[in-house]
Amino acid sequence: MDIAPYVESLRRDLNAAAAPGGPEVARAAELLSGSIDAAARLALLDALAQAADEVTTKLSAASVELRLRGREPELVVTEHLPQPPAPPTPPVPPAPPGATATSPDAGGDVTRITLRLPEGLKDAVERSAAGEGISVNAWLVRAIASAVAGAPPSPPGGWTTPPGRGRRHISGYGRA
């Protein structure tokens, strides 16, 4: 979507409104219209993002996202295919008294969030998850659970830090 015509229309309207004020007012309007480009683009992008969010809340089987390609916004509609019903899961036996949940998925409701990542980081997460044979979601849940628990993230490729040694020394194995 090209928003340049809207910004240009705003410039023309500002210059036309200032013309009856004389040459000094017209010059001031011309100077203002030159600097209004960034502010107008940002305001239009905010309006488009809010519109996409509102439309998404009204759709049950699709979502609308606002993406930027260079300086131009693009509205992308993603249809969500209905998922077949999941087979019933057997009930989980209750935890013994005094036990605490240590698994990231133990207890509690599951909540959906939207996470925006730089493309390179997303690719790295997908590679890491595929290398471990798990889904991206499971990989992210594990990484977040480790971070929240205060545990350092697992080093790549099975590297470990031997007991009694600083983090600068790495032992492990390599593949050729």
171 in any annotated domain: yes
Higher pLDDT residue, 142 or 102? 142
pLDDT digits (tens, 9 = 90+) for 111-168: 788 888 888 888 999 999 899 888 888 888 888 888 888 765 555 554 444 454 444 4
Do 63 and 131 lie in one domain? The reply is no
Among 62, 81, 100, give the residue marking a domain's end.
Answer: 81
Integer Cα distance of 143 and 137 in angstroms: 10
35 in any annotated domain: yes
pLDDT digits (tens, 9 = 90+) for 154-169: 555 544 444 544 444 4
Integer angstrom CA distances of residue 156 from 38, 110, 163, 176: 42, 28, 18, 15
Integer Cα distance of 34 and 37 in angstroms: 6
Which residues span the domain enclosing 148?
Answer: 112-176
Global pTM exceeds 0.75: no
Integer angstrom CA distances of residue 95 from 47, 92, 99, 103, 105: 49, 9, 6, 12, 14
Among 38, 61, 81, give the residue marking a domain's end.
Answer: 81
Q: 136-149 and 119-132 helices cross at what angle (nearest 10)?
A: 100
Question: What domain count does the chain have?
Answer: 2
